[in-house]
Each structure stands twice: as structure tokens, then as C-alpha cells.
Structure 1
């Protein structure tokens, strides 16, 4: 019986998507479906996905002929998903072969609704940075900073009523806040089995933009007061400085 729905948005990713798909197909845990939404790509992304979906029926292609953005693209995949556990992998990121097996086992053994993991950040210039988030992350923790990598998250759709990415900046962070505001926490599963590819000029590489986006989510998604927003954004900046100078 299949247990896991893997959600993959894709837009003009023909240089990396084959490697990302292979990292899912090579999982030691075989009971999954991989749902890929091609978000209006103008390169060979669609053809590459079709090549794989023709061979392996666990791969489901959704074609969006207009660019919708990451949030709506992921939501289209979630609407198509059929299984209990939902997890996320972008079309340029990677998993090691035991990622699903170890995370599903941890979720089942501890009866958890949400888990996250360690991951490594890499690029084409020699970057190889390990991100180690806290063992438990609550709603109040998440208001201060987000240590959760989307590519490491697994959600139990039978425990969480609505899994939909808000159409806002930092949509993954916004979704985690909405989930945890309802009383859930996220727990660190063992191992470091995911690899995040940092692209040149990516959102995460621009700190000023990140602060502005953080403020936007705190105001319009968390819906907290101005004074609390000021406190949490100050905490966010301090944590960022500590992380930068520590490394």
C-alpha cells in the first residue's frame, strides 16, 4: 500500500530535474507517488518529466500552461495527491536513498503530524554547509526564525486538516505557521539525507529581501501586532547575525 505523496513543482528546470527525479526513484522506500507540476516551462522540462512518467507509473505529470508560481503549483500537486504522508522536493534539490524510509518510520513510531530534518546546502562554487535545526520547533519558535527546510518536511494529511500553501512570499514558512498555530509542533527526524541547491541570486542569498518577506508573513499570515512584529524581526536579525559570524 502506497503511503507517501512527493510534491515537486518545476519551471524551466531541464538542467537539474532529471537528477532530482532520480533521487526519488532511488529511494529504498518504494511506496510513493511522485506528482510533478510543470509550471509553464519553455525549455525541455516537460519532455524530461514525460520520459520518466512513461517508464514509471508512480510519476504523475500535471501540466500548467501558464506560470502560477511555487505556491499554486504545489497546491495543484497536493489536490492530486492520494496518500497519507505528504513531502516536498523542488526540481533542483536531492535526497539520499533512505530519506523516505527513515522519516516514515520516525513519523509512525512517534505518531507525529509534522517532521523536519537536517540538510546540506550546496552550489557550484564549493559551498557545502550543513543546516542543523532544533529537535522540536513550536509556533512561538517559528515566529522568531524558520529553521525548517521545505525539502525535509513530511506532513500527515490525516492529522492536519488543510495543507495548502498561501499565495504569499515565503509560502512554505507561511504554511508551517498556519499548521503550528493550530497546536502542532515539528520534530527532527534522524539523519541528514537532503541536499538544497542554492542558486546564484536566489531569494535566500539576499538578506535584505528576506527580512522584508519575513515582515510580510508576520503581518499578513501570523497576523500579530506591530510591537510583536518588531520584537520578532529583531530576534530574526540577531539570529541571522549570530549564524553568519559563527560560520
Structure 2
């Protein structure tokens, strides 16, 4: 179906947030979408909540995993079920403003691009905006992305007519590894929209908030996933660390303005 967007949402014990995520999709000005929610063995009321919305809106689909396999495997299950021209990702604790899809699709059609991403604003665990905005460049290619992940998963939109075989490796920092693979294999640049079109929830116990773990995961991507040598991996990690610092420093400066 023309301009159908397949939205992939992995879910695990998300009863606290999932209503906000679903509502932000339902409220999109672009209404041609399917939301594929993959439950990864939740033990709370997450499934019951989604079942309620699924009955009211057939565009919402629920896939139930019988084993807890992790976010990469869950996303891949959703990707296999996707029927859209466009592929998007929204985690169960994040939300979108209502113009997100329409503005991004319009941008991609105008630029004839295969892969786009946007700036995003950080909110706290309670959903209050912090004023911290992660800005993005006009474009980024494979070599530039090796310097640090500036692509927020919740902001990505991929044209599946132009990019095939999207699959996330089952490793930490799986989204970063995926963007690197897409840009490298397809020899393209991802196009950035420097407007916040997504809201990222930074939970108090968020794994990604631990920068030491992020650095460890990134080393694993360079050394094992991309099979770089020790010296190149160390050099890439050094540059990555500098850019991580700049990314969050710039976000802090934006907040104080």
C-alpha cells in the first residue's frame, strides 16, 4: 500500500508507558500506518493493554514471543511481518509528536532519499520534557557514522523500496550496528532533519545512560561485529568517546538557552 508505514515496537513489562506510545501513533497526522508490537514475555499487564487497543484499531498488531529473546530478536520478528513501504521504530516508552511521520515522509519524497533520521528531545521518566535536544547533521555516511552514533532509533524512517534486508544483529547497541551495515552495504548517506520529531524517555535505570557500558558495547561492534584490528578499534573508540561527550554537552547547552 502506498506510503504505508510499518512501526516496529518491542515491548517488555511496559504497562507504565505503552498507552502513551500507542496514543502518539494513533494521533499521527499521517494515518496510513501499521503498528507491530512484539511482546517479549511481559509479566505485567502490557499485553492486556495492547489487546484492548488492538480490538479498537485493526492497524495495531500484537505478536507474542514465547521466550524472552531480547530487543534485537523482537524487532527482527516485527520487521519480517512488516508490509509497509516505510519502516519506522518506536520503543514502548518513547513517543512521537503528531507531525512526525507526515513531515518525514514529505522530506524523503522531496529529497528522494532512502534513509532519514531526525533530532529528538529527551524527556524524564515521568514524561516531562527536559529541554535537552539531540541535534543532527544534514547527512551522515558510513565513515562519518563510525565516529559515533548520531542516529536515534526512534527517529529513523527507511524506504524499503530502496533499502532491502534490514536486520538487527543480536548484540548490544544493535541499532548502531544496523545503521552502519545499511549505510555500508547500500553505499548511501542517511539524511538528517534537524527538527525534534521524537521524544526519547531517559528512564532512571536506563542501560544506555551508562556511558561506560555504551563504550564497551561500541568496542564490541568495532572489534567483533565489524572485525576491525585492535589499533583501528581503539582509534575508532577514542573518536567515539569524544563525540559522545560533544553530543551530550551540546544537548546540555541547548537546555540552558
Asked if these proteins are the same fold (TM beyond 0.5), I'd say yes
Shift of 1:195: 0.2
**Secondary structure, in 3 states, of the residue corresponding to 1:181?**
helix
Find the aligned partners of 2:246 and 2:192 in 1 and give their Cα distance.
22
Are residue 136 (structure 1) and residue 110 (structure 2) matched?
no
Residue aligning to 2:240: 236
**Secondary structure, in 3 states, of the residue corresponding to 1:188?**
strand
Are residue 55 (structure 1) and residue 56 (structure 2) matched?
yes
Residue aligning to 1:155: 158
Which of 156, 161, 174 is the equivalent residue of 2:177? 174
Find the aligned partners of 1:82 and 1:190 in 2 and give their Cα distance.
28
Shift of 1:238: 1.8
State the number of aligned residues: 247
Find the aligned partners of 1:18 and 1:142 in 2 and give their Cα distance.
33
**Secondary structure, in 3 states, of the residue corresponding to 1:62?**
strand
Residue aligning to 1:44: 45
Find the aligned partners of 1:180 and 1:167 in 2 and give their Cα distance.
19
Is the 2:122–2:201 contact (alpha carbons within 8 Å) kept by the matching residues of 1?
yes
Is the 2:136–2:194 contact (alpha carbons within 8 Å) kept by the matching residues of 1?
no
Find the aligned partners of 1:8 and 1:18 in 2 and give their Cα distance.
12
Find the aligned partners of 1:233 and 1:218 in 2 and give their Cα distance.
8
Find the aligned partners of 1:27 and 1:245 in 2 and give their Cα distance.
31
Find the aligned partners of 2:99 and 2:90 in 1 and give their Cα distance.
15
When residues 243 and 110 of structure 1 are mapped into structure 2, their CA distance, relative to the original with a 3 A threshold, is closer
Find the aligned partners of 2:124 and 2:46 in 1 and give their Cα distance.
21
User: Structure 1 residues 39-48 or 127-136, which shifts more?
Assistant: 127-136
Are residue 216 (structure 1) and residue 220 (structure 2) matched?
yes
Find the aligned partners of 1:160 and 1:16 in 2 and give their Cα distance.
31
Shift of 1:244: 4.7
Find the aligned partners of 1:244 and 1:85 in 2 and give their Cα distance.
29
**Secondary structure, in 3 states, of the residue corresponding to 1:95?**
coil
TM-score by length of 2: 0.92
Question: Alpha-carbon deviations, 1:61-117, whole Å to 9, x = none?
Answer: 101122110000001111111111000000000000010001111111211110000
**Secondary structure, in 3 states, of the residue corresponding to 2:10?**
strand
**Secondary structure, in 3 states, of the residue corresponding to 1:34?**
strand
TM-score by length of 1: 0.96
Residue aligning to 1:91: 92
CA RMSD of aligned residues (A): 1.4
Shift of 1:191: 2.7
**Secondary structure, in 3 states, of the residue corresponding to 2:7?**
strand
Is the 1:6–1:35 contact (alpha carbons within 8 Å) kept by the matching residues of 2?
yes
Find the aligned partners of 1:241 and 1:80 in 2 and give their Cα distance.
37
Shift of 1:239: 2.1
Find the aligned partners of 2:142 and 2:16 in 1 and give their Cα distance.
37
